[in-house]
Chains A and B, each alone.
Chain A
């Protein structure tokens, strides 16, 4: 488009990208595309016991599935729930995309998306997702994970992080009101959310949205609690905001309502400094 000063700028649309759909594609291009698609596939790697169960055509019996997406949500579960050491690691999901960073030593893929099951109450499962799941992988991740779970009487709780900058409201929020929770639930969820429902025109995107879409269509009772925080990176106040979300399940997951401050401090270490522009 031409500007007032006579320069020509290329304009982009917030809605569409121009894709040059070339019907006659190079065989080599096709192969590269296929290989890339294969690399981007989501793979679930379960423990031998679970793999055996799934191979024989059964599903994991599951009544409560708690999914934590994002650092605050995941660390909240680590500090308030997983420290009781009553959890078995069931497996992990490996997700590769353009934002995955190669980490020497422990494979970062393994720790980025882990499934746990309660030792005494094996129908309670937890999953922590701290890696970035790309737009084209969200649906796949959700389908593959939920395909392994028994759907009858399944209840899903999703804890997710977001920035308060993404929260739209007519009265501008002063920072003292953050962090706060907002909820969204599927049609079959009959419980009472512990916080306000997400007001228009706000929406949820990413993995929590993919789970909600899947559960709405499959009629699984699901609630998402999104924490809007004004701090970049994990912090203990935002983590604590999630506590009311799990009060109903407190007994079955052995929620530790006052965790050790040492554990908290260890969890909330400063994130790697990538740039010294904003230390």
Chain B
């Protein structure tokens, strides 16, 4: 459940919520890191739940010695009040048997907080694309009917590509096998999307196809794509890569090289 950092819980009514799905390449989480780090967002609370694997560390967005020693937990909520933006960052995998419970927790928190819309940043296995999906941009979106009521035009103008439905049994030409939504490697993305459709929540999914590896360029691609819609950064005419990389991204591939090796 949501636990505020201060004694006075923040009002998130009418804010836009951006959150990641723990998915292939951790791209959504990396993109959210960029948003929090660049916009210098402040933490307003924690999501304290048994659905996430516990972890703890010092401030991943620290810029100076003074703010370095601040404890951070697996799921935290940050805000940028001037942009009416709230961000939920998830830093740990979901406990395997608790994925449904976690989805329910998120959906009820979204409803209780009164967010005007939610955007899930996610990713999907690039190797499971079919021939059609391999052509053109690797970025896709999904929107619930409730969100389309408000944002259909904006999304149309952006010319974004909607996530395709794929055949349930590829290769089989069964007449009654309807194409269905499939987001392999997307974690709870599909579940959250379908839950939001049934709960009539305004929710969008922005995802990209990628593989495990150095996913930093993928994170930049995703966050720039999101920025085209939400205009989180002031001046879109600025050169790309205007996002600030947090200190926690150091040593993503391990420690320095031991000199005794040479």
Interface residues of A (CB under 8 A from B): 1-2, 11, 13-19, 21, 33, 37, 135-136, 138-140, 142-143, 167-174, 184-187, 197-206, 208-210, 212-214, 216-217, 224
Interface residues of B in 42-76 (CB under 8 A from A): 46, 48-50, 53-60, 62, 68-71, 73-74
Contact A17 B71 (CB under 8 A): no
CA distance A229 to B250 in the complex (A): 22
- CB 8 Å contact bits of B18-34 with A (1 = contact, 0 = none): 00001111100000000
Given A170-B251, A209-B56, A15-B24 contact (CB < 8 Å): yes
- Known A-B contacts: A138-B54, A209-B55. Give 19 more (CB < 8 A): A2-B127, A13-B125, A13-B212, A16-B93, A18-B185, A136-B96, A136-B98, A138-B53, A139-B50, A169-B255, A170-B250, A184-B58, A186-B71, A198-B57, A204-B56, A210-B54, A213-B56, A217-B46, A224-B56
- Complex interface: chain B residues within 8 A of A171 (CB): 256
Contact B57 A203 (CB under 8 A): yes
User: Which of A1, A19, A170 touches B255 (beta carbons < 8 Å)?
Assistant: A170
Contact A15 B23 (CB under 8 A): yes
Contact B93 A15 (CB under 8 A): yes
- Complex interface: chain B residues within 8 A of A14 (CB): 26, 212
Given A13-B125, A200-B60, A187-B70 contact (CB < 8 Å): yes
Contact A15 B247 (CB under 8 A): no
A-B CB contact pairs (8 Å), 17 listed: A11-B125, A11-B211, A11-B212, A15-B26, A15-B187, A136-B98, A172-B256, A184-B57, A184-B71, A185-B71, A198-B57, A198-B58, A206-B54, A209-B54, A213-B56, A213-B73, A217-B48
Contact B100 A172 (CB under 8 A): no
CA distance A197 to B56 in the complex (A): 12
- Complex interface: chain A residues within 8 A of B93 (CB): 15-16
Contact A205 B55 (CB under 8 A): yes
Given A15-B22, A15-B93, A205-B53, A172-B255 contact (CB < 8 Å): yes
Contact A168 B96 (CB under 8 A): no
CA distance A192 to B219 in the complex (A): 38
- Asked whether any CB of chain A lies closer than 8 Å to the CB of B202, the reply is no
- Asked whether any CB of chain A lies closer than 8 Å to the CB of B136, the reply is no
CA distance A173 to B259 in the complex (A): 10
CA distance A273 to B74 in the complex (A): 37
- Asked whether any CB of chain A lies closer than 8 Å to the CB of B11, the reply is no
- Asked whether any CB of chain A lies closer than 8 Å to the CB of B249, the reply is yes
User: Which of A2, A139, A170, A185 touches B54 (beta carbons < 8 Å)?
Assistant: A139
Contact A200 B250 (CB under 8 A): yes
Given A199-B58, A204-B56, A216-B46, A135-B95 contact (CB < 8 Å): yes
Contact B73 A13 (CB under 8 A): no
Interface residues of B (CB under 8 A from A): 3, 22-26, 46, 48-50, 53-60, 62, 68-71, 73-74, 93, 95-100, 125, 127, 184-187, 191, 211-212, 247-252, 254-260
Given A1-B127, A170-B255, A172-B256, A21-B58 contact (CB < 8 Å): no
Query: In the complex, how many angstroms separate the beta carbon of B74 from the nearest chain A beta carbon?
Result: 7
Contact A213 B255 (CB under 8 A): no
CA distance A13 to B3 in the complex (A): 31
Contact B53 A135 (CB under 8 A): yes
Query: In the complex, how many angstroms separate the beta carbon of B65 from the nearest chain A beta carbon?
Result: 10
Contact B54 A201 (CB under 8 A): no
Which residue in chain A gives the minimum CB-CB distance to B191? Answer: A21
- Complex interface: chain A residues within 8 A of B260 (CB): 174
Q: Lowest 9 CB-CB distances: which A-B pairs, in order?
A: A139-B50, A203-B57, A210-B54, A1-B127, A212-B56, A209-B54, A172-B258, A13-B24, A209-B56
CA distance A135 to B250 in the complex (A): 26
CA distance A270 to B53 in the complex (A): 32
Contact A168 B3 (CB under 8 A): no
CA distance A213 to B53 in the complex (A): 11
User: Which of A19, A172, A197 touches B68 (beta carbons < 8 Å)?
Assistant: A197
User: Which of A167, A185, A201 touches B250 (beta carbons < 8 Å)?
Assistant: A201
User: Which of A2, A200, A210, A216 touches B58 (beta carbons < 8 Å)?
Assistant: A200
Query: In the complex, how many angstroms separate the beta carbon of B28 from the nearest chain A beta carbon?
Result: 9
- Complex interface: chain A residues within 8 A of B251 (CB): 168-170, 201
- Complex interface: chain B residues within 8 A of A204 (CB): 55-57
Query: In the complex, how many angstroms separate the beta carbon of A152 from the nearest chain B beta carbon?
Result: 17
CA distance A200 to B249 in the complex (A): 8
CA distance A201 to B251 in the complex (A): 7
CA distance A19 to B144 in the complex (A): 23
Query: In the complex, how many angstroms separate the beta carbon of B31 from the nearest chain A beta carbon?
Result: 13
CA distance A212 to B56 in the complex (A): 7
Given A11-B212, A16-B187, A19-B99, A200-B24 contact (CB < 8 Å): no
- Complex interface: chain A residues within 8 A of B68 (CB): 197, 200
CA distance A27 to B226 in the complex (A): 44
